[in-house]
Structure 1
Amino acid sequence: MALAALVQIIPPRRRKAAAAFISSWMGAAVVSTALLVTLSSGRPRVEPAEVVLFLIVTVAADALVLRLDHGRSTEFISLLEAAICLNIVLFPAPVALGVTIGGSLLSHLLHRQHPIKTIFNLAQYAVGTVVAIALFHLIVADAGIGLRMAFALTLGMSSFGIINSLALSGLVSLLEERSFRRTLEDGWALSMITLLGNTAVGILAAVVWLTHPALTMLFVAPAVTLHLAYRGVVQTRALLEAVEAERDRANRIIIGASDGIVLMDPDGNVDVWSPATAALTGVRAEEAVHSPITSVLAGTDGDGRPIDLLSPMQEATVGEPTRTVEMTLAHRDGGTKVVELRHSVLFDAKGKCAGDAVIIHDITLERESERLKDDFLARVSHELRTPLTPIKGYAQALLRQGDAVPNDTRTGILSTIVERVDHMHALIEDLLLVSRIVAGRASLRDQIRPEPVDIGEVCERVLRSFGIVEPHRELILNVSEDGLVSIADPARVEQIVTNLVSNACKYSEDTAPVILELRNEDGWIAVDVVDRGRGISPHDVDRVFERFFRTDDPLTMTTGGVGLGLHIARELTQAMGGTLTVKSAPGQGSTFTLRLPAKQA
């Protein structure tokens, strides 16, 4: 085997180490070759024709290669070990080494391999071949053909294979920047298989050459067969690696997908149950896999009827394999979500159903957004119709009766019209302000005009105005100390407090008190707006500051507003560097707490 590793693909920080590694093998090759030549006795006698013949055999064996990729490097599998066996048996030690290295050099030149690759491969081949030759001659001596020769060649070529694997694994670990042990383990099995196969063919070919030379050509067929077998192994390994890589990729997609993914077999049993599906349903993958889909996933349509999850597989065709179903999905631990199931029914080559791939997309927020939009339209329509009705009625009365309307009555009518117009104007102003908020808080901060504000005076002014419209309600202001001053926008502070007091009155009985508690709280001016009204459910308490959110049903609501007041109040508070929070429980009233930065002394 050989390694195709061009110098330029070696990571720059590892090039020095790679150069040292290759140089060490070159040095080992020179030393081992010198020792072999020095220790060989006498001048070897060989037939030049045989040398040329087996040089060609070596070139052919090393040139018949299969590619095996390792990331940035490529491993070549050849029949070189079979040729080396022949060379060791048939030639004296120095000649065997020369034929092996010469044949490999010619093969590299024919393939136009990179010089660094050629030098490295020849160096480690030389070391391995010298060791194999030494073991062969040490064990065989003059024993001739027999089991000892076969054992010696097997041991020698095993040593060659070990040296080859160590050299390749060392360089690959440098190229791929991974551990030497892991690299060695990855290629060890295939290296041993090819080594033993090549060695067996080489031993048999050597025996036949020594006993019946004319029959040696018959070994072309088994050599080609062995090469084809290696190709099958390499292709199978490459296919398995591709399948493994594709499976890992699919697993990463399934694990990382925000949508739920379910794969079913044709019988409706679960094959894959993604983490997102487990989160949506509360059913763990260990429980779901191999179970019928109907036992782990269930939902209802908009009318509350159960959804048949197997019907898409029964109804889909090759031409129309997809189905989309919307359903309400119940979580095992409680709660529901609105989801969209996108079925993609799979068919085999014969058009038979092979399973169903289901994507579960959570559309709860989308449906909630649509609901809020519908609620908003209903509320705005209600809020605009409410003042328009009396305005139209009074205007028609004035138009019909003209000067016949008494002055006092006329004044009352006009006052009511002005009041209703002011209400509509306030609604439109709120909508415009929300549009600025949506545009970004920086835009909202541009509307703030900070200056020292006596929060106590603001609260007194707000309560006085409500005392006129709420004559039967007790409005209480408790101030812990005088001079509670904040740096804020006076108009916006009054707008916020007015909104909070308005909500407290709106959601309380007509005679229920509304209390304002004002205090200094560690660098903050805090205002508690306390009511004894209906309270807010735990499910809604975190949502009351959302845009357009209302606790009332828009079709049956008994209070006015479009769900903008608290949203605007919090945004204005935050734009002034403060906070607005709420504590509430059903039937126990609510406490909204406004905190604004206190003016530093």
Structure 2
Amino acid sequence: MRRVAAVSLLGAVLTAAALSQTAERVSIVSGVGLPDGWLLLGLTVLTCASELTVVRLRHGDAVEELSLYEAALVVVVLLLPPGQALLAALSALVVASAIQRRPLVKAVFNLGTYAAAVSGLILVVYAVAGTPGQMTVRVLLGVLLGTLLFTLINLGCLAQILGVVSGASPWRIIRDEAPLSAYMAVGTVATGLTTVEIARHSPMLLPFMAMPALALTYAYRAAAQEADERARSARLLELSQVLAEREDLVRRFLLLLREAFGADLAAADLTDTGELVSVDVNAPAEVAIGPVPSYLARLRHLDRPEHLSKGLPTDLRHLLVVPIEAGGHRFGTVALGSRIRGGRQLSMRDMTLLAPLGDALAVALRGAEHLDRLVEESSKLHAVVEQSSAGIVMVEGDGIVRMWNEAFADLTGVAAAEADGRRLADLLDVPGADDRAGLLPVTPQSPKTTAEITIRRADGELRRLRLAHSAVFTGERLVRDVIVITDLTREHRVERLKSDFIATVSHELRTPLTPIIGYLDLLRTRGARMAPEKRAQALELVADRARHMSRLVEDLLLASRVGDGQDEPALRVDLGTHDLVTLVHQVAEDMGGAEGRVVTHLPGEPVEVRCDAGRTIQVIGNLVGNALKYSPSTERVDVRLGVRDARAWVEVIDRGRGIPADQLTKVFEKFHRVEDPMTMSTGGTGLGLFIARRLAHAMGGDISLISALGTGTTFTLTLPLAHAQVP
């Protein structure tokens, strides 16, 4: 609107300047022989008719209208005084705009543009030619320069509007259109000057001046048609690209379709949704989606293309409608419309081109539907594969991985992104030639088979896997192999733990039982002859070993009764006040310092805690024993004691192999062993940490740990201080 107002203001200023500079002037050329009133009326009618002879050139979403108005202006400016020339030119323009029913904004813009251009033409012609009364060289030069100025003003104002609509630079539009506009200006001058001379000297020949005018109009229309064809070819090429894509297909198709045919409206009535998608030249940046208008709804079931000019809304002049069908499925209809106010008239020639485009859209929509279904099914399959608890791998015939789900990534420690495109044999570390041969054991004779292999993860852990193969062959060539992997490591661990548990329990029970049997035999055969002190020592040793065996049996029974849940009842312990420093000393002495490997860091004063002394020694002994067992014999074990926040803590720090991150919470489970059951080199029942933590909880404390592979492990026992408030 600001540009329209600026153009209108420019027209008003130049009009005022033209009237003030030429107020007393008469016509440049005289001798027509008609009264002034009739001449004014006749030239006004001629100018109006010239403006109605319109050829439209499209610039994307904008339309440039070419006419014989400029040629008529040359005649008007030469034969009428300046004031009457301006009156005739602008009056003719107003009447033509009313007849063509142009929008108000466009009519005001045209009036301002032509007022400025005509005023410039008049000023230049009168400045150069004066008023000689006849045709002279100065008149010819003045008309030529004035017409070029008229063309420049008109093109400059038009470029501003075209730049806003199309987004192109106004200077680029002026540069591109200047040659054609200059040629048209020369033709305009020739037509106007010739008409003036014939009117002065041979009025009877004026009807024959229609021939040059028609030729000029034909040239205009040829140029417009050429521009339309170039634009249509470009849009049709873009259409072919749009139809090959899925995103926003219908909207983009309609936008290009409207531009290719120079229509005002393009719409698609989609039968499946019952909605209309439309693209309107009056709102090029918007797409209307809503109910289908009645005039299109009644054409929903047509089986052939239709060219309509009746029964349409009042603002539509023509409507082309073609069905959208492919493969026996109907998607709806596509319509192109032109309005009464401007717009290109749609013909049967357009219909012959629109019909196959409708079929192409149907094929694209059908392809999009099939692709959507394929994507949906693929996404379901992908979800099943990714959410499966079993590992799933797909390899091509040369062993290249093409699918590797998250479950198998967790098993192997190899991410799916890292595995894609690499050979399966290069991704899995399979110790032993026999196991490596089990990676792809399928043959054309046995496309479905099962094999078991052992792999070594990057962290050194061994996993036992069962691979169920399902292969597809073409002749002797393997096309693809889908492998479902089950982790058998836990089952192997359980079997090993069972046998290890039985052996360990047998050993643990036999250890105290052997001296009991031996001393009982000694007391039975020689007890009467033994010294009282020796007999008392023997009986004390038998009682101590019996108590030890009782505790062991009690632990086994306890482990069998107590579950792993956090809500299990606390164990019964005999709580009292004891010096934790003394208890830690006793553990170190009982283990004999493990030949100097156990190093204690204890405070100089007692640390009184509330605990069961025997159970506390059992817990600390278990932690120190584990540290010694899982550390190299050359490494020491540090035992530290301290107080913090009304609690005492004992840290047992080793420099062993460490515990994998995925097993930090499992080490306190019954029968769990950190070592791989197929390679473990240490003994134990897997009950020590389970019972130790239960005992710590029963005494109001806890056991926690910090560990990393290759750096060692720190177990921390916490117990409440004796003076702390016990809940």
TM-score range, shorter chain: 0.5 to 0.7
- Which one-letter code corresponds to 1:428 in the other structure? V
What do the CA deviations read for 1:264-315 (whole angstroms, capped 9, x no partner)? Answer: 23443333233554555565656654544334445136x9753342222455
- Which one-letter code corresponds to 1:386 in the other structure? T
CA distance in 1, matches of 2:344, 2:681: 106
Point out where structure 1 has 5 or more consecutive residues left out of the alignment.
8-20, 34-54, 64-78, 105-120, 141-147, 159-191, 198-229
2:486 matches 1:361 = yes
Contact 1:379 1:561 in 2 (8 A): yes
Q: Where do 1:209-358 residues align within 5 Å?
A: 236-278=367-409, 280-281=411-412, 288-300=419-431, 306-314=436-444, 316-317=446-447, 321=448, 323-331=449-457, 333=458, 335-347=460-472, 354-358=479-483
Contact 2:630 2:657 in 1 (8 A): no
User: Paired residue for 1:460, among 579, 582, 588?
Assistant: 582
- Which one-letter code corresponds to 1:260 in the other structure? G
What do the CA deviations read for 1:217-244 (whole angstroms, capped 9, x no partner)? Answer: xxxxxxxxxxxxx5x7766544333222
Q: Where do 1:112-511 residues align within 5 Å?
A: 132=337, 134=339, 149-151=347-349, 153=351, 193-194=357-358, 236-278=367-409, 280-281=411-412, 288-300=419-431, 306-314=436-444, 316-317=446-447, 321=448, 323-331=449-457, 333=458, 335-347=460-472, 354-394=479-519, 401=525, 406=530, 414-445=539-570, 447=572, 453-456=576-579, 459-460=581-582, 478-481=602-605, 484-486=607-609, 492-493=615-616, 495-497=618-620
Contact 1:270 1:293 in 2 (8 A): yes
Q: 1:329 to 1:386 in 2, by over 3 A?
A: same
What do the CA deviations read for 1:47-70 (whole angstroms, capped 9, x no partner)? Answer: xxxxxxxx9xx98x845xxxxxxx
CA distance in 2, matches of 1:561, 1:335: 22
CA distance in 2, matches of 1:286, 1:473: 51
CA distance in 2, matches of 1:471, 1:593: 20
Deviation at 1:442, TM superposition (A): 3.2
2:631 matches 1:539 = no
CA distance in 1, matches of 2:583, 2:425: 64
User: Paired residue for 1:526, among 641, 645, 649?
Assistant: 649
What do the CA deviations read for 1:25-72 (whole angstroms, capped 9, x no partner)? Answer: 58xx58xx8xxxxxxxxxxxxxxxxxxxxx9xx98x845xxxxxxxxx
Contact 1:375 1:554 in 2 (8 A): no
- Which one-letter code corresponds to 2:563 in the other structure? V
Classify the secondary structure of the residue corresponding to 1:300.
Answer: coil
Deviation at 1:476, TM superposition (A): 8.2
Contact 2:450 2:468 in 1 (8 A): yes
Contact 1:499 1:566 in 2 (8 A): yes
- Which one-letter code corresponds to 1:537 in the other structure? G
- Which one-letter code corresponds to 2:649 in the other structure? A
Contact 1:300 1:307 in 2 (8 A): no
Q: Where do 1:16-27 residues align within 5 Å?
A: 25=291
CA distance in 1, matches of 2:505, 2:493: 18
- Which one-letter code corresponds to 2:454 in the other structure? T
Percent identical among aligned pairs is: 30
- Which one-letter code corresponds to 1:252 in the other structure? A
What do the CA deviations read for 1:149-193 (whole angstroms, capped 9, x no partner)? Answer: 2256579x89xxxxxxxxxxxxxxxxxxxxxxxxxxxxxxxxx94
Contact 1:480 1:518 in 2 (8 A): no
CA distance in 1, matches of 2:685, 2:623: 15
CA distance in 1, matches of 2:454, 2:574: 48
Deviation at 1:351, TM superposition (A): 11
- Which one-letter code corresponds to 1:538 in the other structure? R
Q: 1:362 to 1:501 in 2, by over 3 A?
A: closer
- Which one-letter code corresponds to 1:596 in the other structure? L
CA distance in 1, matches of 2:504, 2:469: 41
Q: 1:242 to 1:519 in 2, by over 3 A?
A: closer
Q: Which residue of 1 aligns with 2:143?
A: none
Deviation at 1:516, TM superposition (A): 7.4
- Which one-letter code corresponds to 1:307 in the other structure? A
Deviation at 1:262, TM superposition (A): 1.8
Structure ID, larger Rg: 2
Q: Which residue of 2 aligns with 1:571?
A: 694
Q: Which residue of 2 aligns with 1:18?
A: none
Q: 1:550 to 1:194 in 2, by over 3 A?
A: closer
- Which one-letter code corresponds to 1:368 in the other structure? R
Deviation at 1:551, TM superposition (A): 9.2
Classify the secondary structure of the residue corresponding to 1:335.
Answer: coil
What do the CA deviations read for 1:454-503 (whole angstroms, capped 9, x no partner)? Answer: 442x5536757997997999998954545x44455666445535656777
Classify the secondary structure of the residue corresponding to 2:437.
Answer: coil
Contact 2:583 2:616 in 1 (8 A): no
Contact 1:441 1:575 in 2 (8 A): no
CA distance in 2, matches of 1:348, 1:443: 56
Deviation at 1:382, TM superposition (A): 0.9
CA distance in 2, matches of 1:267, 1:463: 64
What do the CA deviations read for 1:235-255 (whole angstroms, capped 9, x no partner)? Answer: 654433322222222333444
Deviation at 1:379, TM superposition (A): 0.9
CA distance in 2, matches of 1:312, 1:367: 25
CA distance in 1, matches of 2:678, 2:380: 50
Q: Which residue of 1 aligns with 2:718?
A: 595
Deviation at 1:544, TM superposition (A): 7.1
When normalised by structure 2's length, the TM-score is 0.44
Classify the secondary structure of the residue corresponding to 1:311.
Answer: coil
What do the CA deviations read for 1:136-156 (whole angstroms, capped 9, x no partner)? Answer: 99755xxxxxxx62256579x
Q: 1:417 to 1:433 in 2, by over 3 A?
A: same
What do the CA deviations read for 1:547-572 (whole angstroms, capped 9, x no partner)? Answer: 45679999999999645344322333
Pairs aligned (count): 419
- Which one-letter code corresponds to 1:342 in the other structure? L
Q: Which residue of 1 aligns with 2:211?
A: none
CA distance in 2, matches of 1:151, 1:136: 22
Q: 1:365 to 1:241 in 2, by over 3 A?
A: same
Q: Which residue of 1 aligns with 2:703?
A: 580
Classify the secondary structure of the residue corresponding to 2:718.
Answer: strand
Contact 1:383 1:560 in 2 (8 A): no
Classify the secondary structure of the residue corresponding to 1:460.
Answer: helix
CA distance in 2, matches of 1:391, 1:560: 24
Contact 2:444 2:475 in 1 (8 A): no
Contact 1:525 1:595 in 2 (8 A): yes
Deviation at 1:423, TM superposition (A): 1.9
Contact 1:478 1:518 in 2 (8 A): yes
Contact 1:343 1:359 in 2 (8 A): yes
Q: 1:267 to 1:471 in 2, by over 3 A?
A: closer
CA distance in 1, matches of 2:478, 2:340: 63
CA distance in 1, matches of 2:411, 2:583: 51
CA root-mean-square deviation: 5.8
Q: Which residue of 2 aligns with 1:171?
A: none
Contact 1:345 1:353 in 2 (8 A): no
